[in-house]
Amino acid sequence: MNALITKFKESPAGGVLREMFKIRLAKFSFGIILIVLIAGLFSPQLSPQDPYKVDPLNSLAAPSSEYLIGQDRLGRDQLSRLIYGARVSLIIGVLSVSFSVLAGMFIGTIGGFFGGWTDEVLMRFMDAIAAIPGLLLALGLVAVTGGALLNVVIAIGVTATPANARLIRGQVLSIRERDYVMSARSVGAQNSRIILLHIVPNSLAPIIVAATLSLGVAIIAEASLSFLGVGVKPPTPTWGGMLRHAFETVEEAPWLTFSPGAAIFLLVIAFNFAGDALRDVLDPRLRGTR
């Protein structure tokens, strides 16, 4: 174990983490992300109550020693549902961003590397998707396919794909003219080998930063869909769904709106701070400018 830890510290990823921890906001963001990650991974162990247990007699009960942040309109423990909602937000955020990054890398790499009509067709298709407001497109896709978790992931991922495709395409257009790519072509290397060994590895830095920043956007998108009633279906706890139900009873129990709203805000801003710190570390031109 000690050998693995030492090897990681000496690796490029370990060096990036060390540089990021020198930034104060990065420490804050990692703390928030770690708390939410632990809550998501160990929801059954950390939840004080059953998040699905209904108690109509204590509907909209105020915070107490047993129910620290109160009970919702069905008498369910708000804290337990908040903890379980962390798992849903992280799963949808990570999977939807992974989908959009992989799809964007494929489309942007193919279009940028080969150019010509291939690039034209792929980029015009991305422009057509980007022309539709993201939330509206996600709403339409989820309304057609249903509110299953996988459908929500795909809907959010599709809306983020054009931006990633354009980002990768711009990197590929620059990298394909570099000397090492020209050298590989001159010795007869196949296009697939050039793409996998030269193009993709050298275009990863900006997409990693974009993916980190996109996690916050994906979490907001999921919360928005759930708030509008077309996200993951009840009774699965989601922060957006909790916020929606709390909004319906805001006059009777205003405290119910605070916890899911604060959780969404803190996690999104944590991913934004982490993305900014990662960009500063990976782009030497930005070091010392903050």
**pLDDT at residue number 186:** 84
Instruction: Say if residues 203 and 172 touch (Cβ distance below 8 Å).
Output: yes
Instruction: Say if residues 109 and 204 touch (Cβ distance below 8 Å).
Output: no
Domain ranges of the chain: 28-44+70-282
**pLDDT at residue number 250:** 87
Listed as ranges, residues in the chain with pLDDT below 70 are: 1-16, 283-290
CA distance 210 to 62: 41
What is the value of pTM for the model shown?
0.86
**Which residues, in sequence order, are CB contacts of 218 under 8 Å at separation 6+?**
92, 93, 96, 97, 156, 160
Can you name the residues that pair with 77 across neighbouring β-strands? 71
Calculate what percentage of the chain has a pLDDT beyond 90. Answer: 43
CA distance 76 to 52: 6
Pick the CATH number of 28-44+70-282 from 1.10.287.610, 1.10.3720.10, 3.40.50.360, 1.20.1370.20: 1.10.3720.10
Instruction: Say if residues 210 and 108 touch (Cβ distance below 8 Å).
Output: no
**pLDDT at residue number 192:** 87
